[in-house]
A and B are shown apart, each in its own frame.
Chain A
Amino acid sequence: DAGVIQSPRHEVTEMGQEVTLRCKPISGHDYLFWYRQTMMRGLELLIYFNNNVPIDDSGMPEDRFSAKMPNASFSTLKIQPSEPRDSAVYFCASSTGTGRAYEQYFGPGTRLTVT
């Protein structure tokens, strides 16, 4: 398996623009997590899905952020409109509810810069 795949790897955009980050989890994993990493706040859980259903979105900072998981192999995190304070590395991770049920496998991350 190729592991968790994220795209794009880097994104530079201007304030006010819409940004869409994409994630493909490991095949067979039924949990998908979105994290934001900054120097000041570390790794923050934004939202997670179980079987494509959002379970907890309490970490989503505000209404400008939205996430979807239309099927088991794809998820998006959208920021509209983007602001400079959204600049961070965004990680997607997946895990399975069976077998070794606890380990989260992280993708390579998307480095977002909003100017």
Chain B
Amino acid sequence: GENVEQHPSTLSVQEGDSAVIKCTYSDSASNYFPWYKQELGKRPQLIIDIRSNVGEKKDQRIAVTLNKTAKHFSLHITETQPEDSAVYFCAASIWWSGGYQKVTFGIGTKLQVIP
């Protein structure tokens, strides 16, 4: 089955600096890679995603890159703010036109933005 590794497990940055979280996956059939943010005591929520036919996607201060050859993808947060403090999960998923979907999450990265 799919194995998703996520690094680092914790990350502290100064407000305004950038944060990078990296994930690797094992199943070359994976074709959809979402990132979820989970604030303390709350549910995970999708913040950005990328599909295997795209190498990079950006949405304001967050961006995700994908290297299918190396089987790794990364989340980049620029100009970090205290409200970015949360646990971030990467995931690798197989989505086919027939609707089959299987998703494996990384262990999570606890990001702390220091004011």
| Interface 0/1 of A78-101, CB less than 8 Å to B | 000000000000010001010001
30 contacts between A and B (CB under 8 A): A30-B99, A33-B103, A42-B105, A42-B106, A43-B89, A43-B105, A43-B108, A44-B105, A45-B102, A45-B103, A45-B104, A45-B105, A50-B100, A50-B101, A55-B100, A56-B102, A58-B1, A101-B95, A102-B32, A102-B34, A102-B49, A102-B101, A103-B46, A104-B34, A104-B46, A104-B103, A106-B43, A107-B43, A108-B42, A109-B43
**Interchain CA distance A44-B1 in the complex, whole Å:** 13
A104 vs B93: C-alpha distance when bound (angstroms)? 11
Known contacts: A102-B49, A103-B49, A106-B43. The answer to whether A48 contacts B101 by CB under 8 A is: yes
| Number of A-B pairs, beta carbon distance below 8 Å | 53
| Interface, chain B (partner A; CB < 8 A) | 1, 32, 34, 42-46, 49, 89, 93, 95, 99-108
Number of interface residues of A (CB under 8 A): 24
> Main SS of chain B's interface residues?
strand
Q: Which A residues contact B (CB, under 8 angstroms)?
A: 30-31, 33, 41-45, 48, 50, 55-56, 58, 91, 95, 97, 101-104, 106-109
Contact residues in B for A56 (Cβ distance below 8 Å): 102
Q: Are A42 and B95 in contact (CB under 8 A)?
A: no
**In whole angstroms, what is the CA distance A107 to B38 when docked?**
12
Nearest-Cβ distance from residue B88 to partner chain A, whole angstroms: 11
Task: Select from chain A the residue with minimum beta-carbon distance to B49.
Answer: A102
CA distance A83 to B44 in the complex (A): 26
CB nearest neighbor in B for A92: B43
Q: Are B43 and A50 in contact (CB under 8 A)?
A: no
A102-B93 contact in complex given A97-B99, A107-B43, A109-B43, C-beta closer than 8 Å: yes
Measured between alpha carbons, how far is A97 from B46 in the docked complex, in Å? Answer: 16
Question: Which of B34, B99, B105 sits near A103, CB closer than 8 Å?
Answer: B34
